[in-house]
Amino acid sequence: MPTFSAIEAAAALIYRTLAPTPQIAWPLLAQRCGCDVWVKQENHLPTGAFKVRGGLVYLDWLRRTQPDVPGVIAATRGNHGQSIACAARAQGLPATLVVPHGNSPEKNRAMRAYGATLVEHGRDFAEALAHARTLAAEQGLHFVPSFDDRLVLGVATYALELFRAVPHLDRVYVPIGLGSGICGTLAARDALGLETEIVGVVAAEAPAYALSLAAGHPVSTEAIPDTLADGVACRVPDPDAFARIRAGVSRIVRVTEPEIRAAMRHYFTDTHQVAEGAAALPLAAALQAGERERPSSSDAPRRIALIHSGGNVDADRFAAVLGGE
């Protein structure tokens, strides 16, 4: 896990390009959840999602250690791709991104706007990933994984900002895709010596990490995840990410598609923030917890945080969610 000094150094690197994101206590969410609720607004970053922090750290390392690298390639559903495309452009490197067929048109357009070349292949992220590795070998490109120590180091900076700004958090809910975000949150908590409980959240239609935690070892699923939360549509857990998650989280919660849609609506009505499906998972889990988040009359109000990981959802899909579909 990254050390405190390493996370601070990563933050200094990131702040050359980006400003810290806010953490906001929204009163209507507090009423809805029955406790103090803080939201880490990673949707306020230029790419609309948290992953660009890791991309900046990774590409800085790559440029320094492999100055002659001809270009980079990665597999993505969108947010990792925007991160790598943005960071690669800053480093003057061409980026190729492999997305599955039927990927979000708006995320595809955003990646192209950063200058990336898009390749469509496969039915889901796992198949796009395999193709990206093949192309990397054929074309001599540097393959950027979706989980790596440098990515974790970069995204740990959002948790460092949160824990410093909001002391004495009882619990933080974090969505789990391949695992960089929650591993970064765990790293920052441990580096600061805090006892805050970290709860992972997955979509019920993409339960690989929840199944893995229950089994005590990585468990892959065969079915293609059919979930609105495409950013967490993982069916093959990363072994290193799983080991860190298993060691650090209290539990992993599964939330259903109706719960995800309801949380997206609540974010909009209560905060006027747009949440993509993956970003809505923490709120859905907190609401699912119900009375467990409500203090007794003798207790001080509980204080929880939700990681709003991104707001990159296609307009037609979001309109349907707001319309109750």
Over residues 192-209, the pLDDT tens digits come to: 999 999 999 999 999 999
Whether 290 shows a pLDDT value over 90: the answer reads: no
Q: Average model confidence (pLDDT) for the chain?
A: 95
Which of 50-59, 85-94, 188-197, 290-299 shows the lowest mean pLDDT across its residues?
290-299
Whether 299 shows a pLDDT value over 80: the answer reads: no
Name the token pair of 187: 């790293």
The residues pairing with 62 across neighbouring beta strands, listed in sequence order, are: none
Which CATH number covers residue 66? 3.40.50.1100
Q: For 154, how many CA atoms within 13 A lie in the half-sphere containing its CB?
A: 29
Average pLDDT over every residue of 114-133: 94
Non-local (6+) Cβ contacts of 19 within 8 A are none
Q: What is the dihedral of CA 114, 120, 125, 130, to 10 degrees?
A: -110
Whether 147 shows a pLDDT value over 80: the answer reads: yes
Give the SS3 label for residue 92.
Answer: coil
- Do 209 and 178 lie in a common domain? yes
Q: What is the pLDDT of residues 106-122, one digit of tens each?
A: 999 999 999 999 999 99
Name the token pair of 180: 């960089």
Domains of the chain: total:
2
Average pLDDT over every residue of 182-186: 98
Could you say which of 125, 143, 161 is where a domain stops?
Answer: 143
- Do 111 and 174 lie in a common domain? no
- Do 103 and 239 lie in a common domain? no
* pLDDT score, position 130: 94
- Do 265 and 288 lie in a common domain? yes
Whether 92 shows a pLDDT value over 80: the answer reads: yes
Could you say which of 143, 176, 207 is where a domain stops?
Answer: 143
* pLDDT score, position 267: 98
Whether 321 shows a pLDDT value over 70: the answer reads: yes
- Its domain, for residue 237, covers 4-49+149-322
pLDDT category at 296 given cuts 50, 70, 90 is: low
* pLDDT score, position 324: 87
- Do 244 and 315 lie in a common domain? yes
- Do 131 and 200 lie in a common domain? no
Could you say which of 143, 159, 185 is where a domain stops?
Answer: 143
Output the CA angle 83-109-118, nearest 5 degrees: 70
Q: What is the pLDDT of residues 226-277, one digit of tens each?
A: 999 999 999 999 999 999 999 999 999 999 999 999 999 999 999 999 999 9
Name the token pair of 17: 């390009």
- Do 159 and 286 lie in a common domain? yes
- Do 162 and 272 lie in a common domain? yes
* pLDDT score, position 217: 97
Confidence (pTM)? 0.94
Average pLDDT over every residue of 315-321: 95
- Do 88 and 190 lie in a common domain? no
Q: Is 216 left (phi over 0), alpha (psi -120 to 50) or beta?
A: left
Give the SS3 label for residue 221.
Answer: coil
* pLDDT score, position 125: 87
- Do 183 and 253 lie in a common domain? yes
- Do 76 and 197 lie in a common domain? no
- Do 225 and 154 lie in a common domain? yes
